[in-house]
Structures are given as structure tokens and as C-alpha cells.
Structure 1
């Protein structure tokens, strides 16, 4: 497979993953705001299904990213300082993804203790990390 195909699918699956990873905390905002159990139960289903839907995209993003690194080779990896910074930020996104799973389970047990404001911040903060990843990948500043 051509490196360009690997990159194209890597970017596609990353975009699909990010769409879901930005929407899930928005669901948490609405879930935290509601007092009606019927509505809470509906959010539980939506949150769980969305997390399960986007997780394969996260895994495919990872597999294709590793494939790209493999194709370029160890010397390229060693010489690409920008990539090391990008991978550190990407690792934070995978930790964030797992934290969202934790929150899905907290909401499923009706044990949420955070405010809607907390989830708004949780929803918006990763945008800056994604911006940094895109800048690193496109500009390769160092």
C-alpha cells in the first residue's frame, strides 16, 4: 500500500474519531443537566453506543499511524522531533478516550458528581491539543 493511501486512511479515521470524541462530552453536558430519569436512561444508551462506535476509529488511527512510522523507518522516526511532540499529544488523546469510557460508566451507574460546566470544559479543551497536532504534522516546525 502506498504511503499516501496510509496517510489518507489515517487522516480519515482520525477525523471520524475526533468527531465522536468531541460529541461525547457534549452529551455529558446535557446528561448532567437533566433531572428526568427517562431522559438520563436515553443518554446512557447514546453515550455507550457513541463510545463503542468511535473506538474502532481510534484503533484504526493508531494502527495506520504505526504503519506510517514503519514505512518511513527508524532513522526518520529518530530524526523527526516534531513527531515525538505529536505522539506525546496523541498519547494524551488516547488517555482522554479512556477517561471518557470511565465517565460513560459513571453516568451509567447514575453516579455523576460533575457539573455541566465541567463537561463543557472537557468538551472544549481538546480542541487546542488537536490544533497543536495538526500544526506539528503539517508544518513540522522542528
Structure 2
């Protein structure tokens, strides 16, 4: 069964199933060891940084800005039945949050595990249940 059903209205997709707060939170970067030539070695990998931000889909990285972009939900509001979605940018070297911008609220803004993408001008595009959102990073 697919949810929401094809005949659903935006009112139908604002139910408790939108709450991502119960998901195990966090994202992290893995450091893969390499020698001076850039060749990977047999040394063990390590965790470079961790972040408590819950994400469902893989982030996308801009080599121009050094930022990882992805969507997340305000977990406190979600537990109260209000589903607010944000685009978050993390510094890929440190894992520090650089900025967060509200994408929208309600089930129409759920990315539902869909991947985002970056345009040539640095615009972040995110597919979601209600269509497609675009957000331009002012640091580009």
C-alpha cells in the first residue's frame, strides 16, 4: 500500500505518520585513511564528526561551498503534531551547522526519503510529497 493515496488531499497528509522524531537521530562522517599519494590504506576507518540532526535521505555536498545540504524536521514541534521542515547546511569538514532555513510546514513538505540535488548556480532542489522546493544558498 502506498501512502498517501493518490486521491489524498493536503489535509490527509498531515497525520501522525509525519512525525520523524521517533527515528534514531544523528548523522556522521567517516574518515577513510589514505597515504600521502591519496591511495586508501588498510588502516581502520574512524568517525570524523557526529551531528545530532535527524535526516532521512542522504545529504548532497557542494564542492564550491564545502557544505552538506539536507532536510530535517523540528522534532519538538513534531511531537506536538506540527510538522515543520527545514533545509540544513553542515560544514563537511567539521559537521557544524552553518545555516538552517524553513522550507515549509505540513505533510506536503515531507521529503519522504527523496534525494535532493544542486543546480549549477548552487540552488538546492528537494523533491517532496507536495512537489519540488528550491532554495538558493546566499553564500554561493
Q: TM-score, normalised by structure 1?
A: 0.30
Give the TM-score taking structure 2 as reference length: 0.30
Higher relative contact order (CA 8 A, sep 6+): 1
Which protein has the bigger strand share? Answer: 2
